Amino acid sequence: MRPRRIPVALVLALCAACVPAQADSAGPRTVEIRLRHSRFEPSTIQAEAGETLRFVIVNTDPIDHEFIVGDRAVQELHEGGTEAYHDPGPGEVTVLAGETVTTTYAFDGQDLLFGCHVPGHYAYGMRGVVLVG
């Protein structure tokens, strides 16, 4: 039995669909994050020092969430805050149920956290980390 040949274009298209982040010479690298079952997918992201990432956040849940990037102090501030929704800013967005939003963030040399601070979500484990190397 002869092996089947798969067209190169099909292999490239399939491989491209598996890559979660895309480099774009015209702008920041894009990383897609899905909000599913009150979790971030992926929950660990790699960035280079000095790199700006463009986050595309897709909320597949039937409830609202947030995406807040920052150090531990930023996360604690938002966890104790009373804002129900955030005006969009670098690394801080509200993501309504079923919606997709974008935000960008420039990373220096330190690892940062991201999380959702809708009451109870962060404590539930709705958080992740950006490892900056």
Interval 55-65 mean pLDDT: 97
Q: Is residue 93 part of a domain?
A: yes
> Is the pLDDT assigned to residue 94 strictly greater than 60?
yes
Candidates 70, 103, 69, 72; CA nearest to 89 is: 103
Q: Is residue 46 part of a domain?
A: yes
**DSSP three-state, residue 43:** coil
3 inside domain: no
In a domain, 38, yes or no: yes
What are the tokens at 107? 């990373």
What's the confidence (pLDDT) of residue 86? Answer: 67
Rounded to a whole number, what is the largest CA-CA distance in the chain? 67
Where in the sequence is the domain holding 103, given as residue range(s)? Answer: 8-132
pLDDT at position 6: 36
Q: Establish if 2 belongs to a structural domain.
A: no
What's the whole-number average pLDDT of the chain?
84
What is the mean predicted confidence (pLDDT) over 47-62? 97
- Residues near 104 by beta carbon (within 8 Å), at least 6 away in sequence: 28, 52, 53, 54, 55, 90, 91
Closest CA to 105 of 50, 62, 23: 50
Tens of pLDDT, residues 13-52: 333 333 344 444 568 999 999 999 999 999 999 999 999 9
Which domain CATH number covers 117?
Answer: 2.60.40.420
Is the pLDDT confidence value at 121 over 70? yes
State both tokens at 50: 């000095």
Q: How many domains are contained in the chain?
A: 1
- The C-alpha atoms of residue 23 and residue 125 are separated, in whole angstroms, by 29
Q: How much is the average pLDDT of 73-87?
A: 83
Across the range 107-114, mean pLDDT stands at 96
**Which of 22-31, 68-77, 118-127 is least confident?**
22-31
pLDDT score of 3 more than 60: no
- Rounded to an integer, the average pLDDT of 92-108 is 96
Cis peptide bond prior to 42, omega within 30° of 0: yes
- In the block, tokens 């993501």 appear at 95
